[in-house]
Amino acid sequence: MSTIRLVPEPETTARQSLLELSRDELEAFLAAMGQPAFRARQIWEWIYTRYAASFAEMTNLPKELRQRLDAAATIAPLKLVTEIVSLDRNTVKALFMLPDGQTIEAVLMLYDQRRTLCISSQAGCAMGCTFCATAQGGLARNLTAGEIVAQVLYFARYLADPAMPPETDVERPTQVTNIVLMGMGEPMHNYKNVWTALRRLTDPAAFGLGARHITLSTVGLVPMIDRMAEEGLQIGLAVSLHAANDDLRTQLVPVNKGYGVEELLAAVRRYIDKTHRRVTFEYALMRGINDTPALAQELAARLQGILCHVNLIPLNPIPDSPYQPTSDEDTERFAQILRDAGIPTTVRLRRGIEINAGCGQLRRAVSA
């Protein structure tokens, strides 16, 4: 079921990650090494369209330059610590070490037509959601834009390499088709770096993924939802709601103390008015906590008139947690109440339960 690698050492020498640089900055970096602009263009192409993992692969660069770059820079700031493949071989979870020794997770999920990658935006998280494994260690730090992009490039290489992808039930995928920022961290709490990364990932001259194939998930930092509405990029918005009233939501998602349900839904309405895009509400069903028929009716009432879709998520249980997943039967009953009220509702496929695929779980297991 799993492949475990040796735990790498953190970097001891500070090398410039080229993934932190815009095209102009990369040109300036190369110019400082006495190199012409076309070298920057070549390297950019190797990184973002040919998914090179090392300078050694850049065979159209002089060998001497490749050696100098190797000493001064990196294009792979993440070191793989552990990689686990689910029993059905359609979910792959990776734990990476950052140059300073922090660790983060990313998960690749293979569906019929999609290869969806769930990435992290922070090492740890400050939001303190009471059902979440990542919350338990608090926030270590924000990821840089390059570290966010690096997760995508790692799996782009993984999928493009005929030797790497596991044999799966689905046709062998070769490209990342969808990205969700639903891994460790609150993307809106690391807004600037996340958006720098998103612009790189959607730049046709870089990774070139369609913005509509990317979803950013938030617990509801209202000012940042308003800011996102102004970005002019068609990134999807998902809001982790988990409860439709303030008492229960504050228990589950403490940030609700600052931005209550009414204020959050008002921000969502403003976002829809501005972007005309449908918003997804994520709702992790927890047995006996937020899964009763009365709460489904309350949720349906709160969401009436909002251009939205509800995604019910079977909770990934974490050890020693009081929160347990709702049964399949109760999940379906909850979903039906929403559908009967006219709210489009889906139940997310349960993926990777046996590989701790819930956010923060692998990191916790490895450091335990």
Q: Provide the binding-site residues for ligand SF4, judged by CB under 6 A.
A: 125, 127-129, 132, 134-135, 184-186, 219, 359
- Long-range Cβ contact pairs of 91-97 (< 8 A, separation 24 or more): 91/351, 91/352, 91/355, 91/357, 92/155, 92/158, 92/166, 93/352, 93/355, 93/356, 93/357, 93/362, 94/154, 94/155, 95/362, 95/363, 95/366, 96/150, 96/151, 96/154, 97/7, 97/8, 97/10
**C-beta of 365: minimal distance to ligand SF4 in Å?**
16
Give me 100's structure tokens.
């300073």
Choosing from 27, 105, 186, 282, which is the catalytic residue? Answer: 105
Residue closer to ligand SF4, measured from CB, 73 or 355: 355
Q: Where are the beta strands (DSSP E) in 173-260?
A: 178-181, 214-218, 236-240
Residue closer to ligand SF4, measured from CB, 74 or 190: 190
**C-beta of 315: minimal distance to ligand SF4 in Å?**
11
Residue closer to ligand SF4, measured from CB, 173 or 360: 360
Give me 217's structure tokens.
């998930």
**C-beta of 359: minimal distance to ligand SF4 in Å?**
5
Calculate the CA dihedral of residues 151, 153, 154, 160 and round it to 10 degrees: 150
DSSP state of 189: G
Residue closer to ligand SF4, measured from CB, 21 or 286: 286
Residue closer to ligand SF4, measured from CB, 47 or 310: 310
Quick check: is 359 catalytic?
yes
**Locate tokens 């204020």: which residue?**
263
**C-beta of 83: minimal distance to ligand SF4 in Å?**
21
**C-beta of 247: minimal distance to ligand SF4 in Å?**
18
The residue among 318, 309, 260, 265 whose CA lies nearest residue 283 is: 309
Q: Which residues are marked as active site? A: 105, 359
